[in-house]
Amino acid sequence: MKKHYYLIVDTETTQNQTVADFGAVVMNRKGAIVEQFGVLLDGHFGTLPLFAATDAPAEAFFSTQSRSRRVKHYEGLLANGQRSICSPTLVNLWLARILGQYKPVLTAYNIAFDFGKCRNTGIDLGIFSQKFCLMKSAKNMIGTTADYVDWCKQRDLWTAKRTRVSMTADTMAKYVCRDAYNALADEPHTALEDARDYEALILLSLLKNNTQKTILGAGQ
């Protein structure tokens, strides 16, 4: 039987619409992580300001006021060896190796966003012929169920304008592992951890009960 692999990519960005933090994991159909990769981009992290929403309240994660705290967190990851500074060229070499070794299906939670920011940075995700948007698949296959909607309403999890229940990766991941003994903490918004500890859970939940063809179709 042919083994199926999935490359889950996540990015954290600069105010200049480029990638500061690139994270990716390769996962098989059973949920095993066989490769992981997390780097800060040379010429972008530490050179360009991290993204911040100028209209966000001071206490918000992506506020202008929180930017220095986020930089310090990344500096801590560099200091303890959990991150390294890497050029876009080396990221592309890693991606080329992953393509040759695993021939994975590419996905991301809002793939259009990550694809565009990677393009702006010189990271080439276009080498992967098969791809789908994990956010679209999750919204269409999980987010439309009565159980998901009720679960969100019970916890008062809504979009900012409260027009519909939340469909963020953080909310979706917490829902799919809602019966686990230890509940998930809030998504840290660092690329590797978001891909490995949140988005991989969402994909695995979809894979347990659906064919790859169905998941890809829902994510186009």
Backbone dihedral region of 162: left (phi > 0), alpha (psi from -120 to 50 degrees) or beta?
left
Residue 165, pLDDT score: 97
Helices (H), 10-166: 67-79, 88-102, 111-121, 134-138, 146-154
**Residue among 155, 161, 192 at smallest CA distance from 174:** 155
Q: What does each C-alpha distance from 216 to 130, 137, 220 come to in angstroms?
A: 9, 7, 7
Residue 183, pLDDT score: 75
Tokens of 156: 């008062």
Structural domain total, the chain? 1
Residue 20, pLDDT score: 98
* 200 in Cβ contact with 27 (< 8 Å): yes
The CATH number for 54's domain is 3.30.420.10
Residue 192, pLDDT score: 98
- How many Cβ atoms sit within 10 Å of the Cβ of residue 216? 17
Task: Provide the 3-class DSSP secondary structure of residue 91.
Answer: helix
End-to-end CA distance of the chain, in Å? 26
Residue 184, pLDDT score: 84
Helices (H), 18-145: 67-79, 88-102, 111-121, 134-138
Write out the chain's pLDDT in tens, 220 residues: 678 999 999 999 999 999 999 999 999 999 999 999 999 999 999 999 999 999 999 989 999 999 999 999 999 999 999 999 999 999 999 999 999 999 999 999 999 999 999 999 999 999 999 999 999 999 999 999 999 999 999 999 999 889 999 999 999 999 999 887 567 889 999 999 999 999 999 999 999 989 999 999 999 9
Domain of residue 16 covers 5-218
Residue 182, pLDDT score: 63
Q: What does each C-alpha distance from 42 to 11, 67, 147, 193 come to in angstroms?
A: 14, 18, 44, 20
* 85 in Cβ contact with 78 (< 8 Å): yes
Distance CA 34, CA 8 (A): 12
Task: Provide the 3-class DSSP secondary structure of residue 24.
Answer: strand
Tokens of 97: 């190796």
Distance CA 127, CA 136 (A): 21
